[in-house]
Amino acid sequence: MRTTVNIDDEKGKELMQITSAPSMSKAIQMALAEYIDMKRKKQLLALRGKLDIIDNWQELRRMDAQDPPHE
């Protein structure tokens, strides 16, 4: 997607320096990807303690091993 964005020159230079990107476009793509990853991680961490997960994978494996394949 093509988008025109006004970016402060100093921030743009700093972003390119920090990311070691060869172009402003690549630096912005890298920064966006990292920002999205960071937000997703925060959303997952916000769920900590709110989900009740039953750790029964071993029991499920045994059940699968005992169950004959269906044809």
Each residue's pLDDT tens digit, 42-54: 999 998 888 777 8
Is 54 a member of any domain? yes
Is 20 a member of any domain? yes
Is 71 a member of any domain? no
Mean pLDDT score of the chain: 90
Domain region containing 52 = 9-66
Q: What single string gives the DSSP state of each residue in the chain?
A: --------HHHHHHHHHHHT-SSHHHHHHHHHHHHHHHHHHHHHHHTTTT------HHHHHHHHHHSPPP-
Mean pLDDT of 32-60: 90
pLDDT given for residue 71 in this prediction = 62
* Number of separate domains in the chain: 1
pLDDT given for residue 56 in this prediction = 86
Is 2 a member of any domain? no
Q: Does residue 70 carry a pLDDT above 80?
A: no
Mean pLDDT of 2-15: 94
Q: Find tokens 């900590």 and name the residue.
A: 48
Is 31 a member of any domain? yes
Q: Report residue 25's pLDDT band, with 50, 70 and 90 as the boundaries.
A: very high
